[in-house]
């Protein structure tokens, strides 16, 4: 799937902030073809870039929002935290905080392993 300009921007900011490796277009659900825009698999943290919010894109219309909620519920039931991001939120300060979130969730997951 072709990356949007916002997805490319997020990936560049993440890289510039020295974030851990992300998997683009990560398929997380065995039965459905759902994918996250980006996933830090080790911490089960996903990032969904919300394009088209101001132009009545898919994510801001009823049917699209309902499908996004179905996906988010399924992800939560599998232990994922899904972080939605709009253009305005793809900033260095926000990305740095998200990197900290991934690191904290990774440490927590490691401490819970037997």
Helices 5-16, 92-112: axis angle to 10 degrees equals: 70
In a domain, 16, yes or no: yes
pLDDT in tens, 2-36: 679 999 999 999 999 999 999 999 999 888 989 99
How many distinct structural domains can be found in the chain? 1
Q: What pTM value is reported for the model?
A: 0.85
Q: Give the span between the Cα atoms of 85 and 14, in whole angstroms.
A: 13
Examine residue 77 and state whether it is found in any structural domain, yes or no.
yes
Task: State the pLDDT confidence band at 60, using cuts at 50, 70 and 90.
Answer: low
55: domain CATH number? 3.40.960.10
Is 49 a domain residue?
Answer: yes
Which residues span the domain enclosing 85? 5-106
Q: Which stretch, 29-33, 40-44, 52-56, has highest mean pLDDT?
A: 40-44
Number of helices (H) and strands (E) in the chain: give both, helices first: 3, 4
The CA-to-CA distance between both ends of the chain, in Å, stands at 38
Residue 113 lies in a domain: no
Q: Is residue 73 part of a domain?
A: yes
Q: Is residue 22 part of a domain?
A: yes
């Amino acid at each position: 799937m072709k990356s949007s300009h916002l997805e490319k921007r997020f990936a560049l900011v993440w890289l510039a902030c020295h974030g851990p490796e992300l998997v683009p277009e990560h398929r997380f659900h065995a039965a459905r073809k759902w994918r996250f825009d980006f996933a830090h698999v080790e911490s089960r943290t996903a990032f969904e870039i919300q394009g088209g919010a101001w132009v009545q894109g898919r994510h801001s219309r009823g049917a699209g929002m309902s499908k996004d909620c179905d996906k988010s519920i399924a992800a939560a039931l599998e232990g994922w935290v899904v972080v939605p991001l709009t253009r305005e939120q793809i900033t260095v300060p926000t990305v740095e905080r998200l990197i900290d979130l991934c690191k904290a969730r990774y440490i927590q997951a490691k401490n819970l392993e037997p």
